[in-house]
Structure 1
Amino acid sequence: MGREDLELAIERHATSKLPNSDLFNIQTLGFRGEALPSIGSVSRLHITSCLQDASDAWCLKVEGGDKKAPMPAPHLQGTHIEVKDLFYATPARLKFLKTPQTELSHAVELLNRLAMSHPSVAFKLFADQRVVFDYKPCASLKERLAQVIGQEFADNALPLEMSRGDIHLNGFISLPTLSRANGVHQYLFVKGRPVKDKLLQGAIRAAYQDFLASDRYPLLALFLELPSEDVDVNVHPAKTEVRFRDSGLIRGTLVSALKQTLAGASHKTATTVSQQAVYAFRPEPATYRQPSLSSSYVPQAPRPNYTSLQEAPTPILEDMPLETPPLGFAKAQLHETYIVAQTEQGMILVDQHAAHERLVYEKFKAEKGHVHRQPLLIPEVVELAEDELMALKEVQEELESFGLIIEPFGEKAFLVREVPALLGEINIKGLLTDLADEHKELGDALSLKERLAEVLSTCACHN
């Protein structure tokens, strides 16, 4: 910008980008020109800019709404904006800010979404004298998604593309075998604008319902392009929600594209799942145990194998009154997954996995602060995204009270030294990513007691 445009940029309502004041033809992320004046009124704002082929640059300073005259300054082509001491001029707003870690995580999330919608642009974020991330320009969207979401997603992502009339949908979605505990890593863009739209999220759930359990969510990044007159971006002050003129067509296009892509890759599984399956099928070395020859050894009669729903013999207990347990008496097992129990008035079908999760959950609650920990013979290094690292740092002390001992390892990883003994062999990275996702989604909205309950349930589920 030149000197005149620089002075105009900090005036309210003076930088409208609307051609002919047409609210139905918005091609940019904003249109009111409010951002720079608002930021300058509550902080120390410095803007330095230089036009192409210009001989000098200009710097404009605004401190708490007090505008200074532009001054010549050394600068290369382009614009540099610096904001310091945010809300120093409005202490009432300052005291309502969250912790620095939480506020930084919000900034990281916003910049990550902007980086995904502009793969050819470099993004670099500094905080507390360190580089939070440094995204180099990318030749393709998949490269940028690998930078932001992670290489695991890029290795297990399916390309998606579909067009219907003037509607064009493209992006990448994860295989059903790569999922998370919530929808934090579902990135949706409409005309390049990052949105969180319930219609689109519902369409994703509907498309994946035959492939994923109801409590798991896919990872994806989808970009929707359509004529400006077919979408209204002004229904929310933050521009994070949109309204479509033909919502049924948009939903149908999204569901159809997702289902077709998933159906074409039904034979694939995530690389992490495939590796675990290979290890599971490797034969273990046979071991032979010498039977004890002590006089206390008594041969055991072979136990009957009940393979159907036939009634197992009821043990004979004399002179002992029996009370029916809450879930009745176990009578049979189906597919090594369900227990058939008999009660006084009927029958109960128990999910063994869910029942075991509940038992582990209750043990965790009872042992809080005194959880038996299992040190790892070789501590495991788990690499995580920047927002996941920040989320886990906020709950690190809470995790330690439940026997999960982690510590930062370098800039992009945690070192896991001990895990709760109750969990046995678990997928440690899956546990950490689920804990991080749940804290990002619910952390600020829940009390400490509720957050602890979420940690407990997540740990129990990974048993």
Structure 2
Amino acid sequence: MSKIKVLPETLANKIAAGEIVERPASVVKELLENSVDAGAGSVAAAVQSGGKRLIQVRDDGEGMTQDDAILAFEHHATSKLQTAEDLNAIATLGFRGEALPSMASISRLVLRTRHPSDPAAAGTEVEIQGGTLRSVKTVPWEKGTEVTVRDLFFNVPARRKFLRSNDTELGHITRLVTHYALAHPEMRFSLESDGRALFDVVPVPTLKDRIYQLFGEGFLENLVEVSGRAGNVEVYGFSSRPHEQKTNPYSQFFYVNRRMVRDKLIASAVRQAYRNCIPASAYPVVLLFVQLPFDEVDVNAHPAKTEIRFRQQGLVHDLILDAIQRALVGSKSIPIYEHRSDAWQEAPIPGSNFPGSPWTTRSAPESTPFDFTPPSAAADPFQRAFNYPFRDETSAPPEYPQDHHGLRIRPDMLLGAPTELAASPFDLSGARILGQIHDSYVIANDSRGLLIIDQHVAHERILYEKHAQAVRQQSVEVQGLLVPVALELPPHQTVILDRSLPELRRSGFQVERFGGNSILVRSVPAVAKDYDCQKVLSEILEGLESEDRTLDVDRIRDRIAVSMACRGAIKVHMPLAMEKMQWLLDELCKTKIPTNCPHGRPIILRFSLYEIERNFGRI
């Protein structure tokens, strides 16, 4: 007797449904995609008990005739594909014809619909329970379709018991509906949970307006516009300024041809763009749209249709990377500290008083300014940045009043109105140096308030960009060692060394293998001649090892620049003369990203004049 048996159809359907319906949010996703494909202008979703008890999605789309409504519950029955060639250029969100039969096999489902060609009294109601057709009725119905799914997984207890709490499942649904609302600002979306409205957003003309509706003005202020085009591929959207960071990736929204996706290629490009702007453990806020011909992307790579493949992977990756980096370079803005909040905030838009609740019904604002004018990119020679004599002072710093907290301030800077600033988000040309706190933080003021600058990370940013520029221009000055230095590396680091040797040499390190795990260092960058070679190289290799990703040229070059900058930067608890503090500020303003160090930490903190006066009771 044969051991292999053909499974009963009902069991096979339950197994197949598990590939498409993982949780209540999966049902909502498939129904929303059907609504979008049907040309709906409005979609209303309602759930109970996190979608376990009830999921209902209603739209005003095209609807179906009775024959089509019945046929839609057959496996692989679809109006979106006609031939095998159609798979090469899929323009709709759904296309397999599996979603409705899969839902119906593991729930109690009722579909009501009417096609515009049918009279108002000739709508169709189809009821299916656990994959079994219960009834088909003619009912009065308005234009569009409504699908009600009750008791999800009622006949698959093994799946039902693994669902999370109601709040967790509702969180997944809320994020999902938010994704689709962002992808289609021209549509109305609403979501209700257990009779409570979570949000209801009306159609708006732009993505910026939809972001405002869903997240509020404060969220929008911390974003910069992203755009780029290469051939027939376009990238657009918004990304956060470096100081706006999250602890998880839930605030990253990726779309390809307005299809919500989870794509490693896009995520990798985003990480690389923010590599020296935010800490490695943090996530930026990103709303990114990639538009390209339908035959340039394969969306049939995963049952949930959220994983895709690009035909031109390198082009898409580099376009995203370049677009975000250009946006960040133009977003030079300083975080403002406010005593009543621990959050980093940008200066408020003058005259704005919009409410900040993220889940409210709003119309779009008339306009939201996005003025990102980058300052001059002029830079001094690379060597000057490293050779400025911070360490060995030939003369003592000027004597200024100093209190027991370690604050040194020039007396003549305590009075008088500061110079007016230009309108650029990062223009500190009018800033005046006041002194230091604990010989570690430079204090300055301008027309907007008080500035505190971390001298170590500020110099780190300057040195990082100088070194990177010198490597690109092949102008790194090399210092040969009179006696080559022999170093012993751990076995696992020798593999990383072999991969990194070309970039180490471009950066000024002449390193060669010396048998076994030994290496010989014959020369170093001139600026590093006084550094401990072993510590510097070990730090570089350990940093590359900890990244746990493919070691491409850019990543290796970046790690070398970061390590060199960290080693060469002035330290905390180091007194600086006024002219040296001013030099530090001037050089910082010339960098591409003056607000964050290469590790992602903030460089400048601003105390707004308004906040200072408010805390002193003057306003």
- TM-score normalised to structure 2 length: 0.44
Choose which of 175, 184, 187 in structure 1 pairs with 2:253.
Answer: 187
Corresponding position: 1:247 with 2:313: yes
2:202 match: 136
Q: 1:37 aligns with which of 101, 120, 135?
A: 101
Is residue 221–residue 346 contact of structure 2 (8 Å, CA) maintained in 1? no
Structure 1 regions of 5+ residues with no counterpart? 277-301, 308-332, 340-346, 348-463
Tell me which moved more, 260-269 or 78-87.
260-269
Which residue of structure 1 aligns with residue 74 of structure 2?
11
1:25 aligns with 2:89: yes
Q: What is the aligned partner in structure 2 of residue 457 from structure 1?
A: none
Assess if the C-alpha contact under 8 Å between 1:176 and 1:269 holds in 2: no
One-letter amino acid of the counterpart of residue 11, structure 1: E
Match of 2:176 in 1: 110
Equivalent of residue 265 in structure 1, options 326, 331, 343: 331
Q: Which amino acid aligns with 1:50?
A: R
Cα separation, 1, equivalents of 2:455 and 2:258: 48
Distance 1:236 1:270, change over 3 A: farther
Give the counterpart letter for 1:335 in structure 2.
Answer: S
Shift of residue 209, structure 1, vs aligned partner: 2.3
- Secondary structure at the aligned position of 2:321 is classed as helix
Aligned length: 293
1:91-140 CA-partner distances (Å, limit 9, x unpaired): 22221211111111111122111111111111122222222222222221
Q: Percent identity?
A: 37
Paired position in structure 1 for 2:440: 335
Contact 2:110–2:128 (CA under 8 A) maintained in structure 1: yes
Partner of 1:2: 65
1:5 Cα deviation after fit: 0.6
- Evaluate the alpha carbon distance shift between residue 157 and residue 270 of structure 1 in structure 2; reply closer, same or farther with a 3 A threshold: farther
Q: 1:24 to 1:43 in 2, by over 3 A?
A: same
Counterpart-to-counterpart distance in 2, 1:16 and 1:50: 16
C-alpha deviation, 1:79, in angstroms: 0.8
Matches for 1:50-449 after TM superposition, within 5 Å: 50-55=114-119, 56-267=122-333, 273-275=345-347, 335=440
> Aligned with 2:70: secondary structure?
helix
Q: CA deviation at 1:28?
A: 1.5
- Give the C-alpha shift of residue 34 in structure 1: 0.8
Name the CA distance, whole Å, in 2 between partners of 1:237 and 1:46: 24
Using the alignment, how far apart are the partners of 2:175 and 2:405 within structure 1? 58
**Range that drifts further, 39-48 or 135-144:** 135-144
In 1, the alpha carbon distance for the partners of 2:105 and 2:301 equals 26
Q: 1:268 Cα shift?
A: 6.4
Gaps of 5+ in 2: 1-63, 338-343, 349-402, 409-437, 442-453, 457-534, 536-619
Q: Secondary structure at the match of 2:111?
A: strand
Compute the displacement of 1:305 (Å). 7.3
Give yes or no for contact 1:206–1:255 (8 Å, CA) kept in 2.
Answer: yes
C-alpha separation in 2, matches of 1:206 and 1:79 = 43
Q: CA separation in 1, counterparts of 2:104 and 2:261?
A: 26
Would you identify which runs of 4 or more consecutive aligned residues in structure 1 move more than 4 Å? 267-272, 302-307, 336-339
What are the superposed Cα offsets for residues 16-44 of structure 1, whole Å, 9 maximum, x if unpaired?
A: 52242222211122221111111111111
User: Separation in 2 of the partners of 1:169 and 1:53?
Assistant: 39
The answer as to whether partners of 2:234 and 2:291 remain within 8 angstroms in 1 is yes
- After superposition, the CA RMSD in angstroms is 3.1
Distance in 1, Cα, partners of 2:249 & 2:72: 37
| Aligned twin of 1:47 | 111
Distance 1:162 1:32 in 2: 32
Paired residues of 2:112 and 2:145 also in contact (CA < 8 A): yes
CA distance 1:79–1:14, shift in 2 (3 Å): same
Deviations 1:318-372 (A, max 9, x none): xxxxxxxxxxxxxxx8626899xxxxxxx9xxxxxxxxxxxxxxxxxxxxxxxxx
Distance in 2 of aligned mates of 1:115 and 1:305: 53
Contact 2:234-2:290 within 8 A present in 1 as well: yes
Distance 1:306 1:143, change over 3 A: closer
Q: Which amino acid aligns with 2:88?
A: F
Q: Contact (CA 8 Å) 2:256, 2:289: kept in 1 or not? A: yes
Contact kept in structure 1, 2:222 and 2:346, CA below 8 Å: no
CA contact under 8 A between 1:175 and 1:270: conserved in structure 2?
no
Q: 1:335 to 1:84 in 2, by over 3 A?
A: same
Q: Deviations over 1:196-243 (max 9, x none)?
A: 212211111211223323333221211001122222222222222222
Opposite residue 47 of structure 1, the aligned amino acid is L
Q: Distance in 2 between matches of 1:218 and 1:52?
A: 45
Distance 1:84 1:265, change over 3 A: same
- 1-side partners of 2:146 and 2:336: how far apart? 42
Q: 1:274 to 1:74 in 2, by over 3 A?
A: same
Give the CA deviation at 1:193. Answer: 1.1
Matched letter for residue 13 of structure 1: H
SS at match of 1:111: helix
SS at match of 1:273: coil
**Partner-residue secondary structure (3-state), 1:70:** strand
Output the amino acid matched with 1:58.
Answer: T
Aligned partners of 1:167 and 1:226 also within 8 Å: yes
Which gives a bigger RCO, structure 1 or 2 (Cα 8 Å, sep 6+)?
2
